[in-house]
A and B are shown apart, each in its own frame.
Chain A
């Protein structure tokens, strides 16, 4: 199993009446709610936590990209990954990822990812999301009905830029480069590539065509993810591919304490903050027309758009969130049991551990992370013994001897 400690970097100071006063945590949330001086402390705390996760033995530390979003303060995940590259030496730098259609020209992603891979000695794990409709269409103005075509072209350009040894002309519909020439080249050729997906057949096939890792990054928890992941594995079988669980990844909110009661006592307010304040997104921003294919839309059309539904969205309680698997919470034993269900039920080899939650302070975050690393992870490590040597989907750093010791770099 591979465990990545992930931080969404939420803003922890949203007011108590946020849901009543503001229509969305994303896209049009006013920056009067942000305070750069507090932000200074926050970014550095969040980076401390990511660095701490490496010392606890997590396989990866993870960052992602959002725009105008109060629960995801990383418009540039590459800046965070660069900060981490210099302060860590073992963990994979999981950048999940760069919304490749939004970089102009997209060869910028090839260049920056190559830089991260080279600085870190080959520890980059590269994510290529399409990006949510909130980010891609509403915040960055990409035309929804053309987003997927632009994404496909950006992917072609980036992979070719990493592969080619000579400058080449790239005559795309959206990007034209007379001299496509990626300096530097990444150490890994290429870095492992993870694709966040939401259940469309097209994305299953895209991952299987290129042997990329399919990741389901929802906040809905493992019980609600079963049907979607079953669909993925069915497609893997249909395509005649091997069933390595490392072809798949899943994000799960997890909090660990000494006992179930202590978990509820210590983490309840932070879980509540995240699920009931941070996820307050205006439905008009959820899905720009054309962003999803009609086939996908027909399968998952939302009816949360009626006047009535908007009026009575009920708050989700701790009991509901933990019972329905949105959150795995409790003593190490409780968490181990549920994690085993998750791992076998979804057949995943990669877990993105969402252990920092909402407005959780550093001390609680560190304790929960430590308990998971010491009391839970060891019992899950060998869940897939028959795939113990399958390293196709993980980083391949330079050997120890070739890697400049990060500690020396930090000490000067």
Chain B
């Protein structure tokens, strides 16, 4: 997928991935960012006109005015929307991106009309605490993120080896930039009050979850779907938190229900 650097509101210089044709789709990425030659983006662009902006701290996206609060992140989403001249995109968010997408839909509830929340962050349930992503070592991540870690862990590291010190050094520096941004809304507990704003969402909403999500357990999907008027929950078997990569067809089918 092609990408370019773009100015956003004179405050950010961000990288945006764009491609495909069809209905407009805005994709908000998770705390890990997009993967190298992102396979899910490749699938999306076969059906949609996809726009995937990278938050400051991800790849070469950067800011002169840093994002601090949930409101900053939410408004960033709309700043990007305006800078790109999007009209009526389907808004799809994965994990942290789902949290931002849901906030956008709650804040500006007549503008966001179709919403897909995939393994979305934003809620907290005391009985089912989300593991501390910020205290995990890189080699522990695949187990947490995938239904089938042996098959998919190479995706995370783009073929590198987390037990190779040289690769690990580069990964840790990049990861610190990404997670520093993510931490503004996810640390120490990924809850910035979304549950109190879900009632505002009017978008047609698909909540999509991997049945064996070990990072954000499926109960969170159920709770999100219950909180959003008319939302549909789709639980996908043989998939973990990285459900878009493990079962892309099933995720695409759920998104398709928003416009068919």
Contact = CB atoms under 8 A, between A and B. Distances in A.
Nearest to A144: B183
B187 interface: yes
Interface in B88-125: none
Contacts of A308: 163
Nearest to B161: A306
A144 B189 CA distance: 13
A290 B183 contact: yes
Contacts of B182: 289
A289 B132 CA distance: 12
A267 interface: no
Contacts of A292: 176
B137 interface: yes
A317 to B, nearest CB: 24
B121 to A, nearest CB: 15
A84 to B, nearest CB: 33
A78 interface: no
Contacts of A201: none
B188 A138 contact: yes
A343 to B, nearest CB: 35
B199 interface: no
B6 to A, nearest CB: 22
B175 A303 contact: no
Given A143-B184, A145-B183, A146-B184, A284 B135 contact: yes
Contacts of A170: none
A277 B113 CA distance: 57
A146 B181 CA distance: 10
A303 B135 contact: no
Interface in A288-322: 288-290, 292, 294, 297-298, 301-303, 305-308, 310
Contacts of B237: none
Contacts of B175: 289
Nearest to B168: A303
Contacts of B165: 303, 306
A138 B135 CA distance: 8
A283 interface: yes
B83 interface: no
A219 interface: no
Contacts of A283: 137
Given A144-B187, A145-B184, A288-B187, A303 B176 contact: no
B138 interface: yes
B29 interface: no
Nearest to A141: B188
Contacts of A141: 187-189
Contacts of A290: 176, 179-181, 183
B136 A305 contact: no
Given A138-B188, A288-B134, A145 B180 contact: yes
Contact of B137 (A146, A284, A298): A284
Interface in B139-191: 139-140, 162-165, 168-169, 172-173, 175-184, 187-189
A307 B168 CA distance: 11
Contacts of B188: 137-138, 141, 143
A282 B140 CA distance: 13
A143 B187 contact: yes
B11 interface: no
A289 B179 contact: yes
A141 B181 CA distance: 16
A27 B177 CA distance: 23
Nearest to B181: A145
Nearest to B182: A289
B34 to A, nearest CB: 18
A307 B139 contact: yes
A302 B165 CA distance: 9
A52 interface: no
Contacts of A138: 134-135, 188
A18 interface: no
A384 interface: no
A43 interface: no
A321 B177 CA distance: 35
Nearest to A140: B188
B178 A289 contact: yes
A306 B173 contact: no
Contacts of B183: 143-145, 288-290
A306 B134 contact: no
Given A141-B188, A143-B187, A144-B187, A305 B180 contact: no
Contacts of B257: none
A290 B179 CA distance: 7
Given A283-B137, A303-B165, A297 B173 contact: yes
A378 B96 CA distance: 60
A138 B183 CA distance: 12
B197 interface: no
A297 B139 contact: no
24 contacts: A137-B187, A138-B135, A143-B187, A143-B188, A144-B134, A144-B180, A145-B183, A146-B68, A146-B184, A284-B135, A284-B137, A284-B140, A285-B135, A289-B175, A289-B177, A289-B178, A290-B176, A290-B180, A290-B181, A297-B172, A303-B168, A305-B138, A306-B139, A307-B163
Interface of A: 27, 137-138, 141, 143-146, 173, 282-285, 288-290, 292, 294, 297-298, 301-303, 305-308, 310
Interface of B: 68, 134-140, 162-165, 168-169, 172-173, 175-184, 187-189
Given A143-B183, A289-B182, A301-B169, 6 more contacts: A144-B134, A284-B135, A289-B134, A289-B179, A290-B183, A307-B162
